[in-house]
A and B are shown apart, each in its own frame.
Chain A
Amino acid sequence: MDMIFNSLAQALTPESILVVTLGVLAGIVLGALPGVSTNMAITLLFPFAYVVDGVPGINMLLGVYCASIYGGSISAILLNTPGTPASVATMIDGYPMAHDLGQPGRALGMSTFASTLGGLFSCICLFFFSPMLASVAKSFTSLEYCAFAFFGISIISSLANDSVAKGLVGGLIGLLLACIGVDPLNGTIRFNFGSRYLMGGVSFLPLLIGLLAFSRVLINVEDFFRKKRLNEVGSLNFNPKAKLRVFPTWADIKRSVGTIIGSSILGTIVGAIPGTGGDIACFLAYNEAKRFNRKHRDEFGKGAIEGIAAPEAANNAVSGGAMIPMLSLGIPGDGATAILLGAFMIKGIAPGPALFSSHLDTVYQIFCGMGLSNILMAVLGFGLLRIFIKVVCIPEKYLLPMIVALCFIGTYSYGHNHTDLLVMVIGGIIGYFAIKHDFTMSSVIIGFILGPMTEANFRRYLLLNNGDIMAIFDRPIAVAFFVLSIITIFGPIISKQFAARKDKKATE
């Protein structure tokens, strides 16, 4: 108990609160901007967190993570354009409520309220379930860790857009890029292709910024010029100067509290399953809310308050859920948690059972940071909503130069090395063409982050068992995770085949 209070005191220092507040603020703003995903928001602010010492830097990124998911709902409700993929379901009822019913404040207020409750609920689950999972994992050997890492890598199959094969190619490229540099077991410098820069391996942050942020800038530039050619101008559907009630009414809270609780549970469970994410959780929660709501079912799609509460509670609950396997086993649940895992490693924090036994204070500080992020999200969300509404309307001609600048400054701040900038630019250009050809950049990042852990544990296991690969069958948990990984890899391929056959039969 003392440790919890000590950690709480450390997490709530003025400096720490300031850093998390800035993270939450930036997360809401970036999440609200259409074209800036949660992954991109975390990537752009990664360099700031890198410069901030210790756990506050991590908590800042957690603030960005939670807040950017919420921020996505602002543009979904006001512009009918989701800020992040996790807000797509919010558009279904959010936009009609703001546009057709003329109640943008009611929609935004419920979105803030449901997001906060969803986030806090998942945070409580994280507090209780991750230490339990970590204590179970304490007895695991290198083989189980290898199986976990392999399972983490297998989620790239679910993250793949249209082509699972390309998702796997991306993941393998990430794994091979991670092999460049120092051999984790014997310290040999390998695959540096004669380059002195590559002796330490490919730098993580420049690669991350290039693949996730700079590539998106190029895609946004393309969209900008397409809109310009077609004369498409996005506009707000209400007068920003009009009076806006941002707090939900008691009647709305009473009407949607059951939906929020149910969706929070669903979102946390979905988040804890690697390979899923906010986009899946929000649709699941929306459908369930509609199915269980007999009284107001007809209002769904036309501006039902539950239609906003359900996806927003669920997508924010995903954040805490995804942190459970990430913190206790070191398995990232989605692209965003993979980036966070990278941030943890750069900060010298290795998620897994060992973290719970040797650095429990750090774990509690992270829990506190996550809870604080959600509370600050509510405070800033209700308090500064008017400003966020204006931010949604900032023209891209002002945003794009600043994002390019952040890519450059962030990359340079990592190692103060100009070659890092080259890696970032090349990564961005390759990323642009790759995304346009159905590759998912998250798969490359997941492969790159989990590569060293998989290799080190795999080879350690071989060493301990004198190269006997069949000894795997003596460890049922490892076997179960390997089987689960194979199902995760091939599941999307098989389900696509079934869907294609079903469509074919239906057309016949």
Chain B
Amino acid sequence: MKRANYIISVLTCVFAIAFLIVGKKYAGISLDGISSSASWPNILAWLLLGLGVFLGVWNTLSKNIPESKIDFKSYEFHNVLIVMAAVVALMIAYRYLGCIIALGIFFPLFMLYLGERSWKVIVIYDVVSLTAIYFIFEKFLGSPLARPFFM
């Protein structure tokens, strides 16, 4: 995990520095002359910067850093990446095709991917789930679902 810890340390410092730089813009905005809009974020950003540096130094000095819990070459991780990509695709489809159509396509594909081979089960699952979602959210809770672009 040593390499990952260095990356985390750098990202932490970058995040803190970004807040410190942007915070300069708000340092003069104050109603009372005592604390500005940037005072509190600045305190936090300095603390975060200190912790980021500490994490880097500790990582260098420490000898007992455990192995990373992610094996980037493993079969499992590749599948996680594929699911991440599928979810990003679902997000795009959700925007343009709306909830029911996007999930109507996503459910069968995801179930097939996870190893379900019975089309009967897939179709029943798809229909029952979407009907339940529609009635619970649209009718029972009154919370509108995302509509497709053509509606």
Name the prevailing secondary structure of the A interface residues. Answer: helix
Which residues of the partner chain A approach B99 to less than 8 Å between Cβ atoms?
A: 408-409, 412
Kindly report which residue of chain B lies nearest to residue A428, judged by CB atoms. B87
Contact of A425 among B15, B39, B87, B115 (CB under 8 A): B87
In the bound complex, CA of A224 to CA of B116 (Å): 13
A375 to B69: give the CA distance in the assembly, Å.
41
Is A176 located at the chain interface by the 8 A CB criterion? Answer: yes
Question: Which residue of chain A has its CB nearest to the CB of B23?
Answer: A191
Known pairs A166-B8, A176-B48, A190-B38; A421 contacts B94 (CB<8 A)? yes
A405 to B100, CA, bound (A): 10
Report A298 CB to chain B, min CB distance, Å: 37
User: Which residue of B34, B69, B88 contacts A466 across the interface (Cβ within 8 Å)?
Assistant: B34
* Interface of chain A residues 377 through 391 with chain B (CB within 8 A): none
Asked whether B80 lies within 8 Å of A405 as measured between CB atoms, the reply is: no
Most B Cβ at <10 Å: residue of A398, A401, A463: A401
Given contacts A222-B79, A404-B110, contact A52 B141 (CB under 8 A): yes
CB distance from B101 to the nearest CB of A (A): 13
In the complex, the answer to whether B88 meets A425 with C-beta atoms within 8 Å is: yes
B35 in contact with A462 (CB, 8 Å): yes
B-chain residues with CB within 8 Å of residue A225 when the two chains form the complex: 75-76, 79-80
Nearest A residue to B22 via CB reads A191
Pick the contact of A179: B35, B40, B83 (CB < 8 A): B40
Docked Cα-Cα span, A421 to B146, in Å, equals 11
Contacts of A70 in B (CB 8 A): none
Q: Counting CB contacts under 8 A, is B127 at the interface?
A: no
Task: Give the residues in chain B near A179, CB-CB below 8 Å.
Answer: 19, 40-41, 44
The smallest beta-carbon distance between B130 and chain A, in angstroms, is 9
- Cβ of B60 within 8 Å of any chain A Cβ, yes or no, is no
Query: Is A228 in contact with chain B by the CB < 8 A criterion?
Result: yes
Q: Are B51 and A169 in contact (CB under 8 A)?
A: yes
- Write out, one digit per residue, whether chain B residues 130-141 have a CB within 8 A of any chain A CB (1) or not (0): 000100010001
**Does A226 touch B at the CB level, under 8 Å?**
yes
Flag if B31 contacts A193 (CB, 8 Å).
no
Indicate if the CB atoms of B22 and A193 lie closer than 8 Å.
yes
- Are the CB atoms of A190 and B80 closer together than 8 Å? no
Interface residues of chain B: helix, strand, loop or mixed (majority)? helix
Q: Which residues of A sit under 8 angstroms from B88, Cβ to Cβ?
A: 425
Q: Is the CB of A186 within 8 A of B44?
A: no
Contact B143–A413 (Cβ < 8 Å): yes
Q: Is the CB of A168 within 8 A of B40?
A: no
A-side interface residues, number (CB < 8 Å):
64
Verify if B26 is at the interface (C-beta below 8 Å from A): yes
Does A188 sit at the interface, judged by CB under 8 A?
yes
> Knowing A51-B143, A176-B41, A176-B44 touch, does A463 contact B32 (C-beta < 8 A)?
yes
Min Cβ gap B26→A in Å is 5
User: Does B119 have its Cβ within 8 Å of any Cβ on chain A?
Assistant: no
Q: How many residues of B contact A (CB 8 A)?
A: 68
Q: Is the Cβ of B94 less than 8 Å from the Cβ of A172?
A: no
B114 contacts A396, C-beta separation under 8 Å: yes
Closest to B132 in A: A402
Give Cα A165 to B1, complex, Å: 15
Closest to A398 in B: B125
A183 at the B interface (CB under 8 A): yes
Question: Which residue from chain B places its CB closest to the CB of A229 in the assembled complex?
Answer: B75
B91–A422 CB distance below 8 A: yes
Question: CB of B10 within 8 A of chain A?
Answer: no
C-alpha spacing A221/B115, complex, angstroms: 12
- Residues of chain B lying within 8 A (CB to CB) of residue A168: 51
Of A48, A397, A429, A432, the contact of B114 (CB 8 Å cutoff) = A397
With A51-B142, A400-B114 already in contact, the answer to whether A169 and B52 are too (CB < 8 A) is yes
The winner among B8, B66, B95, B144 for most chain A CB atoms within 10 A is: B8
Kindly provide the distance from the CB of A436 to the nearest chain B CB, expressed in whole angstroms.
5
> CB distance A404 to B30 under 8 Å?
no
Residues of B within 8 A of A166 (CB): 8, 55
Q: Does A418 contact B (CB under 8 A)?
A: yes
Is A144 at the interface (CB under 8 A from chain B)?
A: no
CB within 8 Å for A173 and B26 given contacts A51-B141, A467-B34? no
| Interface pairs A-B: 4 shortest CB-CB | A397-B114, A51-B141, A467-B34, A179-B41
Interface residues of A (CB under 8 A from B): 47-48, 51-52, 162, 165-166, 168-169, 172-173, 175-176, 179, 183, 185-186, 188, 190-191, 193, 214, 217-218, 221-226, 228-229, 396-398, 400-402, 404-405, 408-409, 412-413, 416, 418, 421-422, 425, 428-429, 432-433, 436-438, 454-455, 458-459, 462-463, 466-467
Q: List 14 A-B contacts (CB under 8 A).
A: A162-B66, A169-B8, A176-B19, A183-B26, A397-B116, A401-B110, A408-B91, A413-B137, A416-B144, A437-B69, A459-B39, A459-B40, A466-B34, A467-B35
